[in-house]
Copies of this chain bind each other. A is one copy, B any other.
Amino acid sequence: MSESVLPSGLCVALSGGVGGAKLALGLSRCLADDDLLIVANTGDDFEHLGLHVSPDLDTVMYTLAGLSNLETGWGLAGESWGFLEALEALGGETWFRLGDRDLATHVERSRRLRQGESLSEVTRTLCSSLGIEARIVPMTDDRVSTVVHSDAGDLDFQHYFVREGCRPAVSGFHFAGIEDAAAAPEFQAAITADELCCVIVCPSNPFVSVDPILLLPGVAGALLAGSAPIVAVSPIVGGEAIKGPAAKMMRELDLPVSAVEVARHYRRRDLLHGFVLDEVDAKLAPEIEDLGLGVLVTDTVMNSLDDRVRLAQETLAFACRLA
């Protein structure tokens, strides 16, 4: 551990899949379990083969459990594919790659949801079974479905993301059901708690991973009413996304593909106080400061576990300074 000052109180981390999960893992190594709540996007959840699949939530869980497949960025390490091979032979739907072990998560989650457990409760049980001590919650226990408006029509998110391999050009996004959804109880409690000391927006896709979380009824209001600084780590480095379609989406939306644009995106709704910029983008710091934000310039590319922990520490210390 470095000598950085870490916040005292509760830190809420908002995360999508791969990049977000990496920083969430780093944060979990810096903070006591009670001082961190990891909130995962569930706008990309979908019903597939009769199962409730929560791709971002699973990526966060598997990453925190040390079980994730580091090469693919999704699924489990050491996975086997007997199910999918057999399903293919039966002419089933195989575009979403469900490994044999991963499948157990979806089957058990679906079984518990059918029995009336909330997604938060199911997630708590799954995390416990996987030996995860950090607290991970879905953004909501209700159903929110990200729809991608594209030149191939309106697509369910996983159809856009996996089945179509992000090829369609996007023109916008819709979060079906969000107006009737509530933030998950632990998430709602955390952002209205006196002990909330910072909110970390992990380096995830602003449009389809973080926006669904921030746009849940009551979330922005609670954050605006509170005094905890909100700090985002840029998912755009050197004009490209580390992983995923964020940069491609920005081009298609006629936005500059730049970390500045990500900062502007959150700032537009007043939901940002500090921004963590990669060293390769150091020259952009003044533009971001001009938005009225604090800026931390550091190495944000997380290759090793040490990288994840160091970036988490630096981000937390930066948030402390903004408080």
Chain A residues near B (Cβ < 8 Å): 49-51, 76, 79-80, 82-87, 89-93, 99-105, 107-108, 110-111, 114, 125-126, 129-130
**Quick check: B82 and A107 within 8 Å, CB to CB?**
no
8 closest Cβ contacts across the A-B interface? Answer: A82-B100, A86-B104, A86-B101, A87-B104, A80-B82, A100-B100, A92-B108, A83-B100
- With A83-B101, A86-B102, A100-B103 given, name 17 new contacts (CB 8 A): A50-B107, A80-B80, A82-B82, A82-B99, A83-B104, A85-B101, A86-B100, A86-B101, A87-B107, A90-B105, A90-B126, A90-B129, A90-B130, A91-B125, A92-B107, A92-B108, A92-B111
Cβ contact within 8 Å between A100 and B80: yes
A–B pairs, 21, beta carbons within 8 Å: A50-B110, A50-B111, A80-B80, A80-B100, A82-B100, A83-B83, A83-B100, A86-B100, A86-B103, A89-B104, A89-B129, A89-B130, A90-B104, A90-B105, A90-B129, A90-B130, A91-B129, A92-B104, A92-B111, A100-B100, A103-B103
Q: A79-B82, A82-B80, A100-B82 are in contact. Are A108 and B129 (CB under 8 A)?
A: no
How far apart sit A319 and B66, CA to CA, in the bound complex (Å)?
Answer: 64
CB nearest neighbor in B for A82: B100
- A86 partner, pick from B82, B105, B110, beta carbons under 8 A: B105
Q: Which residues of B sit under 8 angstroms from A93, Cβ to Cβ?
A: 111
Whole-angstrom distance between the alpha carbons of A126 and B100 in the complex?
Answer: 20
Residue of B nearest to A105 (CB): B90
Looking at the assembled complex, report how far the CB atom of A177 sits from the nearest CB atom of chain B, in whole angstroms.
21
Query: Roughly how many angstroms separate A76 CA and B83 CA in the complex, as a whole number?
Result: 12
Q: How far is the CB of A93 from chain B (nearest CB, A)?
A: 8
From A99, which residue of chain B is reached at the shortest CB distance?
B82
Q: Which residue of B lies closest to A81 (CB)?
A: B100
- Once the chains are docked, how many angstroms separate the CA of A130 from the CA of B130? 36
Question: Residue of B at shortest CB range from A79?
Answer: B82
Given A101-B85, A103-B103, A114-B50, A108-B80 contact (CB < 8 Å): no
Give every chain B residue within 8 A of A108 (Cβ-Cβ): 49, 87, 90-92
Nearest residue (CB) in B for A88 is B104
Residue of B nearest to A129 (CB): B90
Give the Cβ gap from A282 to chain B, nearest Cβ, in Å. Answer: 44
Separation of A107 and B114 alpha carbons in the complex (Å) = 16
- Report the minimal beta-carbon distance from A101 to chain B, rounded to whole angstroms: 4
State the CA gap A80–B107 with chains docked (Å).
17
A83, A87, A104, A126: residue with the most chain B Cβ atoms closer than 10 Å = A104
